[in-house]
Structure 1
Amino acid sequence: MTWQDTYQKWVSYESLEEHLKLQLAEMKKSEEAIEDAFYKDLTFGTGGMRGMLGPGTNRMNIYTIRKAVEGLANYLIKHTTNPQGKGVAVSYDSRYMSKEFAIETAKVLGKHGIKSYVFSNLHPTPSLSYAVRHLGAAAGVMITASHNPPEYNGFKVYNEDGGQMPPAQAEQLIKEVNAVENELTIPYLPEHVLKEQGLLHWIGEEVDHAYLELVKRLSRWTTSEIEQPKELNIVFTPLHGTSHDLVLKGLRQIGFDAIHVVQEQAKPDPDFSTVDSPNPEEHQAFTMAMEQGLIYGADVLIGTDPDADRLGVAVKDSNGSYQVLTGNQLGILMLDYILAHSTEEDRKKGRLIKTIVTTEMGQAVASHYGVETINTLTGFKFIGEKIKQFESTGEKFLFGFEESYGYLAGDFVRDKDAVQAAVIACELAEYWKRKGKTLLEALEELYELHGYYLEDMLSLTLKGKDGAERIAKIMEHIRLAPFNEIAGLPVTLMEDYQSLERINMKSGTKETIQLPQENVLKFYLDKNSWVALRPSGTEPKVKYYFGVSSHSRIESERLLEQLKAEVNHRVHTILES
């Protein structure tokens, strides 16, 4: 069918939801808007799907949700044991239509006789991951678009281990979703029938209690140390999302009481009305927290994204202003604290897991403590998959992180977890404060010991059908004509994760990369530097990652800026050609 045919199918469907009918009527004014909404089905990828809200097959609405759930139900019946008995855990964030989509999920699952465990109020992504494991569910669904703009929502699927599906499982699920022919006519059970038949269960506080007890056990403090008064002064913002209650409870149960919540951002708000972007990676998201930090004399500011899987931290610098730590910097501080307070036995069996675009300083710190590092592809699902493998290998998971503000220290959750990360970050800040140091000063000590590893990331947003084609053009061009040098530094090694080839640029020899396929290119340069390019799996962006290392901050900063400028120029040259 052409997009025009699909559009007519929707327009002529008499039972179409009323508000979607009104939006379709408004779209008649713009053929371009209609085409963008109908030219393809919303992509269901390895992590689920994410898109703008509205009518159309390329939008998030109850019909595209039903299609995704129909595919999930068929997948579970074919590929898992007793999904009807185990059920599916479902959670949702503060976005428009999130709770409605959660209920729609239960309605379609119920038609297949699969019960749903739905949180009675909005809850973070890590809560969903934990609930799947705690309840012994066959799968989990999280309704969220993470830190995307307000007009977005998403649908993420978790396997029975509580992690996002690895590629082999995801491919089977995607096949089932794509096999659903008509999203408008998928059968479902009304909510009252679900309740009558025992197919809808509301999750109360019991899951939170069990989760928080495990978060508390992550503390490196003794019982007496937890009971001691704390010196740390904290400002916390949930950025209008889901983390408010759990972060406060997590911090208070290990003795923190000087916690000042940014009240203007404490209440869930689907418009995220006080920020340009509800993303703690963006420094503007900390504006209000910084203002209140100065008022209260806070040592640290902590902020979580809407579904509370990412954590950002800002620290007061020597000038009295607040500096937002990068995801790599916070990860290194957490890693060093955890390994320094781990037993020798745990370190021998212990593993750090990080992604291929996360700082190489992680491996340097881990090696310092005798801990092995394992690299995975970008995406916490790969970290979760490795943790699962450790159950049979005898290896011990100590810490996992990625540069995009995702951290995990306890394996009772199998996705990044801003709640446990917030607790650990404040504990290590208290530790360093008692030593008379800020986190910035602690980080400087680590740089002096291991080298000045600096990283950065640039991204280019290219929306719509044309944007996707231009992103593909960038990656194809660089594959056909790889970089030989960048900013005067020769390329020594090229890794193509799509062809799974690692090429020595000097000798021309090749070896196979033992990881799943992904559309990523990584170039290793002289002077212990690297550059990687990767289209985002969840946003219309191509991202470029940079890493450098030297024994001088000034030298590392100079080299990093040269790499960024050179790659940015080359990418724009490709687009203009």
Structure 2
Amino acid sequence: MSSNWGKAYQKWKTFQNLESSLKLDLDKLKGDNKALEDAFYKELTFGTGGIRGVLGPGTNRMNIYTIRKAVNGLASYLLKNTVNVKDRGVVVAYDSRYMSQEFAVETAKVFGAYGIKTHVFDALRPTPLLSFAVRYLGTVAGIMITASHNPPEYNGLKVYNEDGGQITPDEAKEIIASIKETEDEFTVPVMEKEKLEEDELINWIGKEVDNAYLEQLILISKLDPAEHGKEKGTQIVFTPLHGTANDLVTRGLQQLNFVNVEVVKEQAKPDPEFSTVESPNPEEHQAFKLAIEQGKQTNASILLGTDPDGDRLGVAVKDKTGNYQVLTGNQLGSLLLDYILSHSDSIIRLNARMLKTVVTSELGRAIADSYGVKTIDTLTGFKYIGEKIRQFDSTGETFIFGYEESYGYLISSFARDKDAVQAAMMACEMAYYWEKQGKTLIEALDVLYEKHGYYLEGMSSLTLKGKEGSDQIAAIMDGIRQNPLTEIADFQVEKAEDYLTSERVLHGNLHVKETIGLPKENMLKFVLEKNCWVCLRPSGTEPKIKCYYGVCGESPEDSKQKLASIKETMDKMIDQLIYAK
């Protein structure tokens, strides 16, 4: 047994008061050294704003002890770095996953031991409401118990700062350092739930925050206020994919008087198994199977799908043949951006800023340019968009829209994370607008392509599980850094950007280097000739490496050929690097 993980395993195995269900699960792993190593070879670490992992016993698993250790470190950090912590408190929300409610209560039990009040929602709520609640209640931080669209065996904890945005990299570093000061997860102080309630250190939140959020939601509409009260006959089918967004999305659409909204019955109720889908991810077309069946029955114009914690939105609309086409995140983002800018005052647009990530379609930049709106790129992850919005509060710049290719959108900054509720309402309003013009959203998208170019994007994702997989992912990135690419699929590399070193190399002159003015991240991007690009990025929360591609062709066919060629080249390259040893 390796001493690297064996000591941690022995510590858990011999702990007398180990929670009973975790003890049973640990006993089942006895003798399975590979499974034990994966459970104990490291501690869950902060990725994109928190921790996320497979449920079960172990330091590399999500359980009450990893939750307690993380919250203990956060409590210590907050007491050192923010003011009036105990009075302002922390707000906690949770989704439909296994152990979500239990983890929310465990969070309050740790904060309670420090005399910090915790506001906990009385039932599951979506992530954007948690972001809003931080700002509405004026708390020092927020915590969302969720694993987003990961498989059922996962759960996680996302931390939000007092602005309502995901914690920044600098904040994360300090929190991680604080967590490391807690050497023993089994000795974290906790206050029992009954004592929390007795001492009023836990406040159960009802509908007050929901109602305040909905008051803000109606204000994002671009319709004439006189039109709000008119019945809108657009046929809509919505699936919350067994998650949290059902109530707020349907109530939001009711506020705008959409009268033909149907919810997919089989997926309306929360279900930690997500039993009707292979994956509760609206990025994947299989998630729309039941919505498409229902849409065909009702002749729906638009289908909506939100992920379990309600921060990502997928949309499907009818094409010319009458079949439903699931829009990519880039396509929906481009449509929303054009609709918002075309319905915004020209005076507002002068100082407006559109935010997107470095792996999001360049079509967004082309659209923003056409309206005289400046585009700002951020690193991948909506926390960077939230951080930029916070900077605008002091610079006086106006946030007008933010999005990323992975189905995350934000229209108004009353929330500071991607918001599928806002996006769902705006998507339906947009569909209603184009319907009145005699166009589907597919036809509206074609107008954008004809005007700005046939932009097309793709993404390959490779999952390599366990310690061995993490090592392989590191080897892929190292291999490409050691052998810089000068050509990809017969396209010359014009710029090579390494976000880990913050260095951009201009290939027209190998001696010319520029500094990338963004935080450091393990990511490589290659800007190619003819409006093409490739980006490699290991996931911060999953054992994956993602390869993003973007092209702009002279026609849809030209774009498809270019994209296929680049994808094939990169897939072969990654395979060679995996099996090189």
TM bin, normalised by shorter chain, reads over 0.9
Q: Distance in 1 between matches of 2:523 and 2:213?
A: 35
Could you say which residue in structure 2 is the equivalent of 1:81?
Answer: 83
The CA deviation at 1:98 is: 0.1
1:121-520 maps to which residues of 2 (within 5 A)?
121-508=123-510, 509-520=512-523
SS for the counterpart of 1:426 is helix
Structure 1 residue 565 corresponds to structure 2 residue 568: yes
CA contact (8 A) 1:37 1:55 kept: yes
Q: Distance in 2 between matches of 1:303 and 1:45?
A: 26
Q: Distance in 2 between matches of 1:182 and 1:132?
A: 30
CA contact (8 A) 1:143 1:156 kept: yes
The CA deviation at 1:3 is: 1.2
Q: Distance in 2 between matches of 1:179 and 1:437?
A: 59
The CA deviation at 1:510 is: 0.2
Q: Distance in 1 between matches of 2:535 and 2:546?
A: 8
The CA deviation at 1:46 is: 4.7
The CA deviation at 1:366 is: 0.3
Q: Distance in 2 between matches of 1:484 and 1:348?
A: 39
CA contact (8 A) 1:124 1:242 kept: yes
Measured against aligned partners, the alpha-carbon deviations of 1:456-492 in whole angstroms (never above 9, x if no partner) come to 1011000000000000000000011011101101101
The CA deviation at 1:506 is: 2.1
CA contact (8 A) 1:300 1:313 kept: yes
| Among candidates 559, 563, 579, match of residue 576 of structure 1 | 579
CA contact (8 A) 1:147 1:279 kept: yes
| Among candidates 528, 543, 562, match of residue 525 of structure 1 | 528
Aligned-partner residue type, residue 531 of structure 1? V
CA contact (8 A) 1:314 1:324 kept: yes
Measured against aligned partners, the alpha-carbon deviations of 1:415-437 in whole angstroms (never above 9, x if no partner) come to 00000000000000000001010
Q: Distance in 1 between matches of 2:459 and 2:558?
A: 18
CA contact (8 A) 2:233 2:259 kept: no
SS for the counterpart of 1:385 is helix
Aligned CA distance change for structure 1 residues 291 and 46 (closer, same or farther; 3 Å): closer
Could you say which residue in structure 1 is the equivalent of 2:21?
Answer: 19
Q: Distance in 1 between matches of 2:459 and 2:342?
A: 29
| Among candidates 91, 94, 112, match of residue 92 of structure 1 | 94
Q: Distance in 2 between matches of 1:359 and 1:173?
A: 33
Deviation above 6 Å: which 4+ runs of structure 1?
Answer: none
Measured against aligned partners, the alpha-carbon deviations of 1:210-267 in whole angstroms (never above 9, x if no partner) come to 1011110000112321122213100000000000000000011011110111000000
Q: Distance in 2 between matches of 1:463 and 1:173?
A: 26
SS for the counterpart of 2:492 is strand
SS for the counterpart of 1:2 is helix
Structure 1 residue 43 corresponds to structure 2 residue 45: yes
Q: Distance in 1 between matches of 2:484 and 2:140?
A: 44
Q: Distance in 2 between matches of 1:229 and 1:434?
A: 13
- Identity, % of aligned positions: 60
| Among candidates 536, 539, 561, match of residue 536 of structure 1 | 539
Aligned-partner residue type, residue 188 of structure 1? V
Aligned-partner residue type, residue 352 of structure 1? M
SS for the counterpart of 1:246 is helix
The CA deviation at 1:29 is: 3.8
SS for the counterpart of 2:547 is strand
Measured against aligned partners, the alpha-carbon deviations of 1:491-534 in whole angstroms (never above 9, x if no partner) come to 01000000000101120110111000000100011111000000
Q: Distance in 2 between matches of 1:575 and 1:55?
A: 30
CA contact (8 A) 1:46 1:171 kept: no
Segment of structure 1 superposing worse, 64-73 or 42-51 = 42-51
Measured against aligned partners, the alpha-carbon deviations of 1:126-176 in whole angstroms (never above 9, x if no partner) come to 000000000000000000000000000000000000000111111111111
SS for the counterpart of 2:18 is coil
1:94-133 maps to which residues of 2 (within 5 A)?
94-133=96-135
CA contact (8 A) 1:354 1:374 kept: yes
Q: Distance in 1 between matches of 2:425 and 2:404?
A: 18
Q: Distance in 2 between matches of 1:229 and 1:167?
A: 46
Aligned-partner residue type, residue 482 of structure 1? P
Aligned length: 577
CA contact (8 A) 1:237 1:289 kept: yes
Q: Distance in 1 between matches of 2:42 and 2:396?
A: 45
Aligned CA distance change for structure 1 residues 397 and 90 (closer, same or farther; 3 Å): same
Say what the alpha-carbon RMSD is for the aligned residues: 0.8
CA contact (8 A) 2:48 2:381 kept: no
Aligned-partner residue type, residue 468 of structure 1? S
Q: Distance in 1 between matches of 2:168 and 2:428?
A: 32
Aligned-partner residue type, residue 484 of structure 2? P
Measured against aligned partners, the alpha-carbon deviations of 1:65-101 in whole angstroms (never above 9, x if no partner) come to 0000000000001111111111000000000000000
The CA deviation at 1:369 is: 0.4
Aligned-partner residue type, residue 542 of structure 2? E
Measured against aligned partners, the alpha-carbon deviations of 1:304-332 in whole angstroms (never above 9, x if no partner) come to 00000000000111122111000000000
SS for the counterpart of 2:321 is coil
Q: TM-score, normalised by structure 2?
A: 0.99
SS for the counterpart of 1:24 is helix
Unaligned runs of 5+ in 2: none
Segment of structure 1 superposing worse, 324-333 or 251-260 = 251-260
Q: Distance in 2 between matches of 1:361 and 1:451?
A: 8
Could you say which residue in structure 2 is the equivalent of 1:551?
Answer: 554
Q: Distance in 2 between matches of 1:46 and 1:73?
A: 19
SS for the counterpart of 2:56 is coil
Q: Distance in 1 between matches of 2:507 and 2:396?
A: 37
CA contact (8 A) 2:91 2:130 kept: yes
Q: Distance in 2 between matches of 1:38 and 1:392?
A: 45
The CA deviation at 1:287 is: 0.3
SS for the counterpart of 2:431 is helix
